[in-house]
Amino acid sequence: MQPENQKSTDFCFTWQGARASLNLTPDFVAMEAAVTAIRVALPVPLRQHFDYLLPPELEVSIGCRVRVPFGKRELVGIVWQLAVKPDVSEQQLKPVLAVIDQTPVLPALLRQLLSFAADYYHHPLGEVLTAALPALLREGRPLADYLPRAYRLTDSGKAANPQSFSRSAKQAELWQALTTQALDEATVKSHYSGSALKQLMAKELVESFQTEIAPYHYQGLAEPALQLTADQALAVTAVNQAQGSFRPFLLEGVTGSGKTEVYLQLIPSLLELGQQILVLLPEIGLTPQTLERFSKRFRAPVLVWHSNLSDGERLNCWLQAASGSAAVVIGTRSALFLPFRKLGLIIIDEEHDLSLKQQDGFRYHARDLAIKRAALECCPILLGSATPSLESLYNCQQGRFTKLTLTARASGQAMPQLELVDLKQQVLQYGLAAQSIQQMQQQLKLGKQVMLFLNRRGFAPALSCQDCGWLTECQRCSAFTTYHKHSRQLVCHHCGATRAVPRQCGGCGSTRLAPVGQGTEQLEEHLSVLFPEVPVTRLDRDSTRRKGAFASLLAEIQQPGPRLILGTQMLAKGHHFPFVTLVVIVDVDGALYSADFRAPEQLGQLLTQVAGRAGRGHDKGKVLLQTQHPEHALLQDIMLNGYAAFARSALLERQQTLLPPCQYMALFRAEAHQSELCQQWLQQVASYCQQQPQVQQLGPLLSPLERRAGKYRWQLHLYAAQRPLLHQLLSQVLAEVSQWPLSRKIKWQLDVDALDLS
C-alpha cells in the first residue's frame, strides 16, 4: 500500500480507491420525533448494513454502543449513521433495546480510519469496528463501570470516634488514612484490607466515587540523552521540523546504528506540548526492553499494549490513551486503533517485519494503516529498519517517503565480518562444520558469547523408519510432524495437531524409528555435549511459553561471561546482545529456492538482522553462514554488497517482472474438504474478473501447503497497475460471490496486499 502525494495541510492525505462510507453527521445530535431510524454496525461477517428504530425517549450519537436484537440473539453494535432512510418500511424494523453510551467510544478520526480500513481491505465494517474495541467494551457494560474509583469518608465517617475501631486494627488503619485524604482504588487494594473496606462501607462510614483520568504532566528527562552522531542528529532535526503536519519518513540504519536513540530524542519536544506518541513493535518479545528504555528516559507515563495483557490491563491502557493520561504507548499492531486524545507522532520499529500484517480475520497491515492514521491526525510518522521492506524503499523512490540514513554503528564499532562456510564434502558434527566449532571454541575461551541461529524449533523435523524410509506425517496437513523430545509428542506446526510418538513404523511395522534433521531442541542437547562447561540459553516459542520466561532468558544473556545462545527467528528482532562476538547461521539453504517471489527479500532481511546481533559491544563481531550453495547469487550479493545494494537489485527485478510493490495485488483463498470445489469456485471468480482485462490473473492454483487442518487449499492471484481498477473489481466480485451457491460449500477469504502466499 502506498500513499498518494500530499495535497494540502488541512486534510493532507488522500487514497485512491477508498469509498467514502463515513457519514460526517455531527457527533451529538438530538433525535427529533420524525427521525426514528439509525444504522448500526454489528460484529457479524456480513457485508451489509443494519437499520433499527430508535424509540423517541432515547438519544444517541454516532460512535456510541447500542444493544439491538439480531435474530434470536442480542448484539452490541456501533451507531454508524443517524436519520437514515431504511430500505424497508418502519413496521419491519426492530427497535433498539438500549443505548449504552452517552458519548462515543469511537471518536470521529478513528471512525474515519476504520471506515477506510473496511473499504480498503473489503472486510465487514462491524467486525472492523469490533477489532478496535477492548474485549470488555464488546460486552456491553457502560463505560462508567470501568472508570477508576476512589474512596473517602462520609459525614458519618468523619464524625466517627477512633475508639469505635478498637476491635479491628485493620479498619482503624484504613479509617485513619482516609481522614487525611481520599485514596484511589489501586492504593486501597495494595495497602489495606479488602474486608476492612467492605465493613466500613457497610457501616456507611466510607463511600466510593468516580474519579476523572487527567492528562499527563511531563516532568522532564529522568536521565540525560546520549550524544548523537551526525546522521542521528540530521534524522532528529528532519522529523522535528515536520511536527504538526503529515509527513512519512523511512529511517534506514544499519544494525546497532542507534535508531532507538533517534526515537527517544524525538519525544521530549512533543511531551512538552502535551502530545502523545505511539510506538509500534512487531513482536511482544521486544516490548519489555523497549519499555525499560523509554521509562528510564522520561518522567511521564509510558504504557504497553499487547495480547498477553489481561482484559482489564488492556482496557486501562485504552482509557488512559483516550483521556490523554498516557504519554507514550508501546504496543503491537492493534495498538494502532487506540483512541488517542492528542497524537503527535507515530513510530514503527522493524517496519519490514511480517508480524505487522494480520494473517487471519481482518487482514490489515498495521504499517500501512498507521500511515493513513498519521495523515488523518496530521502528524509525522517514522518507519525504522536496518532492512527496509521493498514497499517502503519503492515509496522513497517515488517521492512519497523521505529517506533518512544511519550508515554506521553509534558506538563506532565496525560492522561484523561475514564468512561463508561451504558444507560440501565436509563431515559435520551435530550439523556444525569443523571450522564453525573451532571458532566457537576460540570465542568461548575468551569469555565471549556465541549465538547460533536455526529456524526450526522442536527436536527434529520428522521421525523416519530406518528400514523402509517411512516418515511421520500430519494426518490433516500436507506436512511432516515435528518431533518434540521433551514432551514426547509429534506436533504439526501448521494446524497444531499433536499425538504421541509411535512405537513402530506406520509402513512396515519396524521399531527402528530415528529423528531426521535437526531442530533447536536437538542442537541444544548437542551443544551441551560439545561444550559441557558452557551454559546454553535457548530462545524459541517452546522455551518462552511460560509467562515471564522470555524476560528471564534475556536477563541471562545480558550477563557477561561465556554463553551459547541458540534460537529461531525470535533472535533476529532487534535485540541488543552486547557480549555476542560470533554468530553462526547453522542452515542458510532452507529458503534459497522458495516459490514465493518475496522469499529472497525475506531471507536477505533475516540474514542481515541475525548477523547484526554480533559485535554490538566493544569487541569486533563475526558471522559464519553455513551453506551447501556458497556460489548462490543472493548469498554473494549480501556478502559483498550488503542489504542496501541487494534491495536495490531486488526492487529492479520486481519492476521488470511487474510484481508488488510495482503493481497492486489481491489474493483469493479457498479451502474445503473437497479439492475440486475450491478449484471450481476460484475458476468462477477468475471468469468474472476477465471483464476487467487490465487486471492480470495467476491461477487458480494449489497453495504451496496443499492441505491444512484436513482441508484442501487453492489460490487466485490478481495484479493491477492501478489500485482503483483493482478495488473496483474486488467490490464487484464480492457483490456477486455472495449469491453463488458454491460460496456456501467452501471457506474463502480475500487478502489485499497479501504477504503470506503459503
Which residues belong to the annotated binding site for Zn(2+)? Answer: 465, 468, 474, 477, 492, 495, 505, 508
Residue type, 82: L
Report which of 737, 730, 735 is spatially closest to residue 751, judged by C-alpha positions.
Answer: 730
CA gap 711, 643 in Å, rounded: 38
Task: Report in angstroms the alpha-carbon separations of 643 from 254, 602, 639, 732.
Answer: 9, 11, 9, 41
Written as one letter, the residue type at 447 is G
**Type of residue numbered 555:** A
Nearest CA among 371, 355, 401 for reference residue 120: 371
Residues 6+ apart with CB under 8 A from 218: 271, 272, 274, 298, 299, 300, 327
Phi/psi at 296 (5° precision)? -70, -25
- Long-range contacts, stretch 492-495, CB < 8 angstroms, 24+ apart: 493/457, 493/458, 494/705, 494/708, 494/709, 495/708, 495/709, 495/710
β-pairing, 747-752 vs 664-672, is: antiparallel
Point out the annotated binding site.
Answer: 465, 468, 474, 477, 492, 495, 505, 508
Q: Tell me the three cell numbers of residue 199.
A: 465493613
Q: State whether residue 495 is helix, strand or coil.
A: coil
Report the C-alpha gap between 243 and 228 in whole angstroms: 20
Grid coordinates representing 72?
A: 434470536
Could you tell me the strand order of the sheet in which 65-70 lies?
Answer: 50-53, 37-41, 73-81, 65-70, 98-99
> In whole angstroms, what is the distance from residue 211 CA to residue 625 CA?
59
Q: What contacts 657, CB < 8 A, 6 or more positions away?
A: 597
